[in-house]
Amino acid sequence: MAKFSERRAANLEQPIGVGLLERVSWDDLRVFVAVARTLSFRKAATALRTSSSTIVRRMERLEETLRIRLFDRLPDGVALTTEGRSVYATAQQMERASQSLRAQLDRDLNSRGMVRCSVTEGLGTMWILPHLARFSRIQPSTIVDLRCSMEVADVLRMEADVAIQLTKPDRAYAKAVRLGRMHLYPFVSRRYIELYGLPRTLADVRQHRVVDQRAPQVEDDAWNRALHLPTIDGIVALRTNASTALACAIELGLGIGALPTYIDAIGTDLVPVDIGVHSHVDIWMTYHPDARSTARVSIFIDWVKTLFDPKQYPWFGDEFIHPRELARNHAPRMNRTLLNLPVLRSVPGSAD
């Protein structure tokens, strides 16, 4: 970002004329808004699924076009200049106008259109995705941009049309719907039992191996508290940020780990570990207050709600049901042939 500091003040103080505005790329402004919101080139690159170098290059180009400095470089990120804050306010208005225009133009459901859904990794990969085949048949003109990440998307900033998350939304103006509850239970593979045995009590677990997940929206110290240990590093076989990696590790016999109780209902060879502990986390959906004005987004929101109906999918109800009871009393609710995954043939994600 040397160009930021090397530009002369005289060049930065030139007024923005209409001719300059006509040459500004809206796509560059969209990138600028992402950087202004996060105050980080790296975070903006992650949100936009591109590289930091691309973000830097685009911002340099925008500054050269506008002939003003938009950001001051800081050790831990960037800060908006006075001119940058003014451009940011205008760019936000343009973004809202773009959203309104999209709602007007996207009324024909027979034309191609997109819905952007941000969802936690396990739920996205192992629950939402298999059902999307059915949604796609019903709404063939809708492209679903499914972002599976443990990072929470900000729907007010239009990072996604719909966000499904495990933390209660805290933005005052965002629409929030509690979809259901996810119950977590320790599981282990039969291979692990053959090698190390099956723990019968919490005290036994201290002599076993666990698989641990550390990620946003996942409780970090659940095992520590359950086992009354200051740290579980001495018994951790694998620590990962990915829900699917956690589930794979448990299935492969690396250790004991917490998974959603519905895995038994959809079919698995994993064994519940009855040591007197289980936990739960609520599942939330949030979306922009204007999202319903876009027909295909509104249809998608209503469809997502059906995927967590406790009458059809009792594992998402408020009441805890033991995994064995789910497996015994509830037939598989979805066609497992849709789960075309090489390792996780029938094992969903972990704490999401």
What residues have CB less than 8 Å from 297, skipping those under 6 apart? 115, 161, 162, 287, 291
Bigger pLDDT: 19 or 293? 293
Domain chopping of the chain, boundaries: 2-105, 111-352
Per-residue confidence at 104, pLDDT binned at 50, 70, 90? low
Q: If DSSP states are collapsed to H, E and C, what string results for 284-333?
A: EEEECCCHHHCHHHHHHHHHHHHCCCCCCCHHHCCCCCCHHHHHHHCCCC
User: pTM of the entire structure?
Assistant: 0.69
The answer on pLDDT for 101 being more than 60 is no
Give the whole-number percent of the chain exceeding pLDDT 70. Answer: 81
The answer on pLDDT for 96 being more than 80 is no
**How far is residue 222 from each of residues 204, 219, 286, 323, measured CA to CA in Å?**
17, 6, 26, 20
CATH of domain 111-352: 3.40.190.290
The answer on pLDDT for 253 being more than 80 is yes
- What the block records as the tokens of 192 is 């692990």
CA angle 301, 306, 309 (to 5 degrees): 130
Beta bridge partners of 117: 146, 162
The answer on pLDDT for 332 being more than 90 is no
The answer on pLDDT for 280 being more than 90 is yes
SS3 191: helix
Mean pLDDT along residues 182-202: 95
d(CA 8, CA 328): 74
Classify residue 110 by burial, with Cβ atoms within 10 Å: 0-12, 13-18, 19+: exposed
Region for 153 from its dihedrals, namely left if φ exceeds 0, alpha if ψ lies in -120 to 50, beta otherwise: beta
Q: What are phi and psi of 231, to 5 degrees?
A: -150, 150
pLDDT at 15: 42
Q: What are the contacts of 152-157 at 24+ separation with CB within 8 A?
A: 152/118, 152/216, 152/217, 153/118, 154/37, 155/286, 155/287, 155/288, 155/291, 156/288, 157/33, 157/37
Weakest mean pLDDT among 233-247, 250-264, 334-348:
334-348
- What the block records as the tokens of 101 is 């225009």
Weakest mean pLDDT among 28-37, 73-82, 343-352:
343-352
pLDDT digits (tens, 9 = 90+) for 115-152: 999 999 999 988 999 899 889 998 899 999 999 998 88
The answer on pLDDT for 157 being more than 80 is no
pLDDT at 310: 93
Q: Are 344 and 251 in contact (CB under 8 A)?
A: yes
Of 42-56, 139-153, 254-268, highest mean pLDDT: 139-153
d(CA 303, CA 109): 15
Half-sphere exposure of 304 (CA within 13 A, CB side): 31
Mean pLDDT along residues 63-87: 88
pLDDT at 328: 77
pLDDT digits (tens, 9 = 90+) for 223-233: 888 888 888 99
Q: Which CATH number fits domain 2-105: 3.40.50.300, 2.40.440.10, 1.10.1740.10, 1.10.10.10?
A: 1.10.10.10
pLDDT digits (tens, 9 = 90+) for 20-31: 555 677 778 888
Tell me the DSSP string of 100-164.
Answer: HHHHHHTT-TTS-EEEEEEE-HHHIIIIIHHHHHHHHHHSTTEEEEEEE-SSPP-TTTTS-SEEE
Mean pLDDT along residues 240-265: 90
* Of residues 288, 245, 12, the one with CA closest to residue 155: 288
d(CA 56, CA 90): 21
pLDDT digits (tens, 9 = 90+) for 296-309: 899 999 999 999 99
